[in-house]
């Protein structure tokens, strides 16, 4: 999910100036929503403002490949995989797939990715990039918009960086295979190749660290961007389909990279800060359902200097609660409060989350939501996270039994807000964690359990990320067990090597 208000001006300035129709007519586009007024006035179909993808088998016009076309399918096979036979991809292109303005040129990304076994033809690649644009990028941000940085900034970067291109193609192919009958061995090949490229760069980073060099000055900002974007993409890739726990290794690698790079020289870079804050969302929320110190300690937190980051203060407060709860588990008599000088009580929890709610609503002002239903729904999403945070905190800090009225109030408010969302498809990517928390507070209540199951089944069907199946299976097991504290069962699962991820 995006850590920034997607309508902020810094991204908007790098987005297309207007719709393609106005550009072709050489007039200034008014960028109206849902369609620009000038197109509507002329009774034209406005194509919108998102980047338009085109895969072109063009001739390189500069660099060492000048004058050369893309290699044809089967011409090159990676030396590292010379024992594998190249197969035709069973993925088939979409009927009438649109080809438009953004071209991926053969001199850069394609010259690296063509070496991967089972690399699909150009039509399929166009389909995969379109699928990422339409179906995947929207699930990675709090609220999708035309300024979604995964489209505006990450996709253009992938044109220049083969590892990132491979990561995007891999997650798109794997996601498409889970939401349709299409199957291919290409996703695994692409993932392996991307990891090899990242590993080669990481080895250089490791050597520089061993030499005591300052990486914040050694690594170019674009190298930092493509490495972090690739790691986050592969992290999401591992949550699709296989039930793999390898997401943890990608998360740890991304965390190490960010810690090594620091922030002093990166704060003015839009894409790097966006990706860093993306990692912080995942890092903080993943810490709530995992108890391994390697996951919970030294998490990446939202940059406190950026005031337009959605849920920034909320995530920082949740992480404070998580650290304190882990200390309490290790030493129930401990009065230490992690990084806090004031002990957390039910009152300070309510005050802290109330302040975080207000700051999130203030940070959302640049969003300029297009209609009243979205505005109302955003306030409901903030309320949903507010009460989920309280329920999580009451339980893990062991206050639930002493304040049953507060627990019931937040539980009821959370479910009420979920049930009155007006445009659920717009917000479905934001629901897995708070609905999981509602599930952990539904022990012994069949009505709440049925509601949670219904919502989670909708999340699984809509998003296509199968790690949510594991979350629902955990809740079913928890509800049928004999301990009302969900963390007891979660720790048991973790001891068996199964890590919950409700992000």
Assess whether the previous peptide bond of 34 is cis (omega < 30° from 0). Answer: yes
Distances (CA, A) of 449 to 212, 326, 440, 472: 54, 27, 9, 11
Bridge partners of 69, per DSSP, are 59
Evaluate if residue 387 carries a pLDDT over 50: yes
Predicted TM-score (pTM) of the model is 0.78
Mean predicted confidence (pLDDT) in 22-44: 70
- Among 140-144, 190-194, 229-233, 267-271, which stretch is predicted with the lowest mean pLDDT? 267-271
The answer to the question of residue 56 being in a domain is yes
Q: What is the pLDDT of residues 58-95, one digit of tens each?
A: 333 333 333 333 333 333 333 333 333 333 333 333 33
- pLDDT given for residue 430 in this prediction: 98
- pLDDT given for residue 487 in this prediction: 96
Domain containing 67 equals 1-16+51-80+92-310
Q: What is the pLDDT of residues 470-501, one digit of tens each?
A: 999 999 999 999 999 999 999 999 999 999 99
State the pLDDT confidence band at 197, using cuts at 50, 70 and 90: confident
- pLDDT given for residue 77 in this prediction: 31
The answer to the question of residue 424 being in a domain is no
400 three-class SS: helix
The CA distance from 96 to 98, in Å, is 6
The answer to the question of residue 108 being in a domain is yes
Q: Provide the residue count of the chain.
A: 503
The CA distance from 311 to 360, in Å, is 5
| Between residues 384 and 249, the one the model is more confident about | 384
Cβ partners under 8 Å of residue 171, min gap 6: 132, 136, 187, 233, 234, 236, 237, 240
The answer to the question of residue 196 being in a domain is yes
Evaluate if residue 451 carries a pLDDT over 60: yes
The answer to the question of residue 384 being in a domain is no
- pLDDT given for residue 124 in this prediction: 84
- pLDDT given for residue 266 in this prediction: 59
The CA distance from 288 to 311, in Å, is 16
Cβ partners under 8 Å of residue 206, min gap 6: none
Q: What is the pLDDT of residues 173-182, one digit of tens each?
A: 999 888 776 6
Q: Are 431 and 455 in contact (CB under 8 A)?
A: yes
- pLDDT given for residue 477 in this prediction: 98
Q: Average pLDDT over the chain, rounded to whole?
A: 80
Q: Are 228 and 257 in contact (CB under 8 A)?
A: yes
State the pLDDT confidence band at 109, using cuts at 50, 70 and 90: low
Would you give the distance in Å from CA 83 to the centre of its chain?
Answer: 35
Q: What is the pLDDT of residues 116-126, one digit of tens each?
A: 667 777 788 88
Mean predicted confidence (pLDDT) in 227-243: 88
- pLDDT given for residue 327 in this prediction: 87
Cβ partners under 8 Å of residue 205, min gap 6: 215, 219, 257, 260
For the chain, the helix, strand and coil percentages under 3-state DSSP, each to the nearest 5: 60, 0, 40
The CA distance from 361 to 375, in Å, is 11
Evaluate if residue 210 carries a pLDDT over 80: no
- pLDDT given for residue 84 in this prediction: 33
Evaluate if residue 269 carries a pLDDT over 90: no
Residues 441-449: contacts with CB under 8 Å, at least 24 apart: 441/391, 441/395, 441/407, 441/411, 442/411, 442/475, 442/479, 443/478, 443/479, 443/484, 443/486, 444/479, 444/484, 448/411, 448/415, 449/475, 449/479
- pLDDT given for residue 106 in this prediction: 41
The CA distance from 128 to 362, in Å, is 37
The answer to the question of residue 374 being in a domain is no
The answer to the question of residue 319 being in a domain is no
Mean predicted confidence (pLDDT) in 16-30: 69
Total domains in the fold of the chain: 1
Bridge partners of 54, per DSSP, are 103
The answer to the question of residue 109 being in a domain is yes
State the pLDDT confidence band at 27, using cuts at 50, 70 and 90: confident
């Amino acid at each position: 999910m995006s850590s920034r208000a997607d309508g902020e001006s810094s991204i908007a300035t790098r987005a297309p100036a207007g719709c393609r129709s106005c550009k072709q007519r050489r007039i200034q586009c008014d960028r109206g929503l849902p369609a620009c007024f000038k197109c509507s006035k002329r009774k034209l179909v406005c194509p919108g403002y998102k980047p338009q993808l085109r895969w072109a088998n063009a001739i390189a016009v500069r660099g060492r490949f000048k004058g050369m076309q893309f290699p044809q399918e089967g011409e090159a096979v990676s030396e590292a995989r010379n024992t594998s036979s190249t197969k035709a991809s069973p993925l088939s292109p979409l009927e009438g797939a649109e080809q438009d303005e953004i071209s991926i040129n053969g001199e850069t990304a394609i010259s690296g990715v063509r070496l991967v076994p089972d690399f699909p033809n150009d039509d399929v690649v166009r389909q995969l990039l379109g699928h990422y644009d339409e179906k995947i990028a929207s699930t990675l941000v709090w609220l999708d918009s035309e300024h979604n940085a995964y489209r505006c900034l990450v996709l253009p970067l992938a044109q220049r960086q083969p590892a990132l291109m491979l990561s995007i193609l891999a997650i798109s192919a794997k996601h498409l295979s889970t939401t349709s009958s299409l199957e291919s061995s290409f996703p695994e090949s692409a993932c392996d190749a991307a990891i090899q490229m990242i590993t080669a760069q990481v080895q250089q980073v490791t050597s520089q660290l061993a030499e005591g060099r300052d990486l914040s000055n050694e690594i170019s900002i674009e190298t930092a961007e493509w490495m972090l974007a690739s790691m986050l993409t592969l992290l999401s890739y591992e949550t699709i389909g296989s039930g793999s726990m390898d997401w943890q290794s990608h998360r740890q690698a991304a965390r190490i990279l960010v810690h090594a790079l620091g922030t002093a020289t990166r704060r003015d870079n839009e894409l790097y800060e966006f990706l860093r804050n993306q990692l912080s969302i995942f890092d903080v929320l993943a810490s709530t359902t995992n108890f391994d110190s390697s996951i919970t300690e030294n998490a990446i937190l939202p940059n406190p200097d950026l005031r337009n980051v959605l849920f920034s203060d909320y995530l920082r407060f949740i992480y404070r609660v998580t650290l304190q709860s882990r200390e309490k588990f290790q030493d129930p008599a401990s009065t230490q409060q992690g990084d806090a000088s004031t002990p957390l009580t039910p009152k300070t929890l309510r005050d802290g989350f109330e302040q975080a709610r207000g700051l999130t609503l203030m940070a959302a002002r640049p969003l300029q939501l297009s209609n009243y239903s979205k505005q109302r729904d955003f306030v409901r999403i903030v309320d949903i996270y507010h009460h989920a945070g309280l329920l999580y905190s009451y339980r893990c800090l062991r206050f639930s039994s002493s304040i049953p009225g507060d627990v019931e109030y937040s539980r009821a408010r959370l479910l009420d807000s979920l049930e009155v969302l007006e445009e659920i498809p717009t917000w479905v990517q934001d629901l897995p964690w708070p609905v999981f928390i509602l599930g952990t507070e539904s022990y012994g209540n069949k009505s709440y359990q049925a509601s949670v199951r219904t919502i989670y089944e909708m999340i699984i069907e809509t998003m296509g990320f199968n790690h949510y199946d594991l979350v629902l299976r955990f809740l079913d097991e928890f509800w049928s067990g004999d301990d009302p504290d969900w963390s007891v069962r979660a720790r048991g699962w973790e001891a068996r090597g199964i890590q919950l991820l409700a992000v």
